[in-house]
Structure 1
Amino acid sequence: MRFQKLDLNLLVALDALLRERSISRAAEHMHLSQSAMSSALARLRAYFDDDLLISVGRKLELTSRAEVLKEAVRDVLMRVDTSIATAPEFDPSESDRKFQLAVSDYTAATLIPHLLALAEKQSRAVRFDLIPVPGRPQRALESGDADLMVISRPYALPDHPTETLYQEEVCCVVCSDSRFARAGELTLEQYEAAGHVAVQPPAMDRPSLENWFKERYVKARHIEVTTFSFVSAPYLVMGTERIAIMHARLAQLARKSLPVTLFALPTPTPHLEQVQQWHRHRTRDPGLIWVRGLLHEAVLRMDAEPDQGPTA
């Protein structure tokens, strides 16, 4: 099909080329041969009268015209996908659709098991692909690599819709053999003087949870261990006098299998807000509406049997 003398099939190739910045990777993404993708690039260059991709050393970089086209082409294809290609109705009992959810390991451990349990009651064929929250969340949504993200409110994108899922508290986790656990209290002075385990998720370009508190609430901090994983934090205080700040729900899960003691933070802190976010063009996607509803149900299921909170 052609529009204004442009073969519209070439738009898909152009999108892959601009995202991958590699002829071979774009060809692999589209299940084409490298020669076929090279031919498509040549036709695109002729149509736009622009090189689009130019060699800089061993890499391909976008021309200024390509940079302008990149978002426009992705937007057009996303609109086509959501307006035409997406089925007008979604029946989970009849669908084998795969949903790609960008989540942290904290969310994967606490909320997602409840989502999967609820989804299985309605469908044994629907699939879920959990991927890490990328360093550039907007690119993941706009490229279609993620159908939906579950993230903390500060990481949410201003250009796409969000829904609040729940509020989360944070608490301190220490080894049950530590002096803090034996004393049964954790003062602000002890907290400031202690060594800490900090979580810095990979590729995140905003302050980590640990730095967030350091900048706003507690000045004296000694970060002795950093990790990319929220789930690993309670394991890293074992056998030490260190303290880890953790999401309360995840800390409560850890307490069921590890000899750890939970304390409230010795300084007032606001709650964290977990949200779900999707591309603005996919608000009416029936499948995503189903998943979004299930996530709200999953929150209720997750909190149906509240654990004991951290020590006051």
Structure 2
Amino acid sequence: MRFKGLDLNLLVAFSVLMDTRSVSRAAEQLNLSQPAMSAALGRLRDYFGDDLLVLQGKRMFPTPYAESLVPMVQDTLRRIDALITTSTSFDPATSQRVFRLIASDYITAAVIAPLSRRLAHVAPGIRLEAVLPSDGSADLIAQGAFDLLITPEEFINPGQPAELLFEERHVIVGWKNNPVFAGEVTLEDVLRAGHVGIQMGNQRTSAFADSIMEKLGHFRRMEMTASSFTVVPWLIIETNRLALMHERLARVMARMFPLAIAPIPFEFPAMREMMQFNHARSADEGLAWLRGELRRDSKLD
């Protein structure tokens, strides 16, 4: 489709080119051949009367004019996406929609996996794409690149709408043959044991539970750290290590690993897990349906 002489599909190509700054990577992302992507860049250059991307050494860099176009093109694509995805009659039983989610492996294992199993029966055409959070997750939501970010409250962007998914308790987990579970687990037991902790992203950000322990002044001996919540059981079985784990994830993992679960023996705040989306999708009936389904599958029995 053309608007004032511009093929609107070229706006998508422009956005990906600005993001990747590479003709070959943009072609791969859009499932195009490299010659087709080069041709699209040529048509963009002709239309705007600017080089847009220039080669310096072995890398391509956007021109100042191209940089000025980026926010306007991204906003246009967000609005078009909102127009297309907003429907007065979303029917999950017949919809072929793809929802793109940003969620930790904990959320994927404890909430998204059971949801996907149920959707296979009640909404077989719906497809879910889940990627792990990164330091730029909030920006991806603001850009409209993803539908939903599921994250603890402290990581949400105050400039975009967010809703509570659930409040999560944490528990102590360990190998079921760990002698500490022979009786009631005490604070002294927790502080005496070696632990497995979680640090996330390039900034090595501590997980909610580990951060709270530091704020409470309960310093533990960390014998292992990992960047994934779901690998923790592998690091505690057949050892006397302990870990603080989300209750929902602990219940899932205890069905698959020889784990023991105990309550935390001191006051510990609940974690507020939020769902954040772009304000342009506020009236998106399909996204509202998905948020409701996530709430349903996140309820504890």
TM-score interval for Structure 1 and Structure 2 normalised by the shorter chain:
0.7 to 0.9
Secondary structure of residue in 1 paired with 2:60? strand
| 1:236 counterpart = 2:221 | no
Distance 1:29 1:213 in 2: 40
Q: Which runs of 5+ in 1 are unaligned?
A: 306-312
Aligned to 1:35: 35
Would the alpha carbon gap of residues 242 and 144 (structure 1) be closer, same or farther in structure 2, given more than 3 Å must change? same
**Aligned AA for 1:61?**
F
Would the alpha carbon gap of residues 78 and 240 (structure 1) be closer, same or farther in structure 2, given more than 3 Å must change? same
Once the two structures are superposed, the pairs formed by residues 1-312 of structure 1 within 5 Å of their partners are: 1-3=2-4, 6-45=6-45, 47-48=47-48, 50-84=50-84, 86-142=86-142, 145-182=145-182, 184-203=183-202, 206-300=205-299, 303=300, 305=301
Distance apart, 1:87 and its partner CA: 4.0
Distance apart, 1:170 and its partner CA: 0.8
Q: Which runs of 5+ in 2 are unaligned?
A: none
Distance 1:280 1:126 in 2: 22
Distance apart, 1:244 and its partner CA: 0.7
Secondary structure of residue in 1 paired with 2:224? strand
Distance 2:201 2:261 in 1: 26
Distance apart, 1:120 and its partner CA: 4.2
Distance apart, 1:96 and its partner CA: 2.1
Runs (4 or more) in structure 1 with deviation over 6 Å come to none
Per-residue Cα deviation, 1:183-205 (whole angstroms, up to 9, x for no partner) = x1333334233221012244566
Once structures 1 and 2 are overlaid, which stretch shifts more, 123-132 or 234-243?
A: 123-132
Once structures 1 and 2 are overlaid, which stretch shifts more, 13-22 or 87-96?
A: 87-96
Conserved 8 A contact 1:198-1:227: yes
Figure out how many residues of one structure are paired with residues of the other and give that number: 300
**Aligned AA for 2:93?**
S
Secondary structure of residue in 2 paired with 1:258? coil
Distance apart, 1:105 and its partner CA: 1.7
Distance 1:85 1:220 in 2: 48
**Aligned AA for 2:106?**
Y
Secondary structure of residue in 1 paired with 2:172? strand
**Aligned AA for 1:171?**
V
Would the alpha carbon gap of residues 57 and 244 (structure 1) be closer, same or farther in structure 2, given more than 3 Å must change? farther
Secondary structure of residue in 1 paired with 2:55? strand
Distance 1:188 1:56 in 2: 59
Secondary structure of residue in 2 paired with 1:111? helix
Q: Percent identity?
A: 35
Would the alpha carbon gap of residues 130 and 9 (structure 1) be closer, same or farther in structure 2, given more than 3 Å must change? closer
**Aligned AA for 1:154?**
E
Would the alpha carbon gap of residues 197 and 86 (structure 1) be closer, same or farther in structure 2, given more than 3 Å must change? same
Distance apart, 1:143 and its partner CA: 5.3
Distance 1:175 1:84 in 2: 50
Secondary structure of residue in 2 paired with 1:288? helix
Distance apart, 1:74 and its partner CA: 1.1
TM-score of the aligned structures, taking structure 1 as reference length: 0.83
Once structures 1 and 2 are overlaid, which stretch shifts more, 193-202 or 276-285?
A: 193-202
Would the alpha carbon gap of residues 52 and 189 (structure 1) be closer, same or farther in structure 2, given more than 3 Å must change? farther
Distance 1:67 1:158 in 2: 25
Per-residue Cα deviation, 1:149-193 (whole angstroms, up to 9, x for no partner) = 2222222222221110110011211223323223x1333334233
TM-score of the aligned structures, taking structure 2 as reference length: 0.86
Distance 2:185 2:223 in 1: 19
Distance apart, 1:7 and its partner CA: 4.8
Distance apart, 1:64 and its partner CA: 4.2
Conserved 8 A contact 2:138-2:149: no
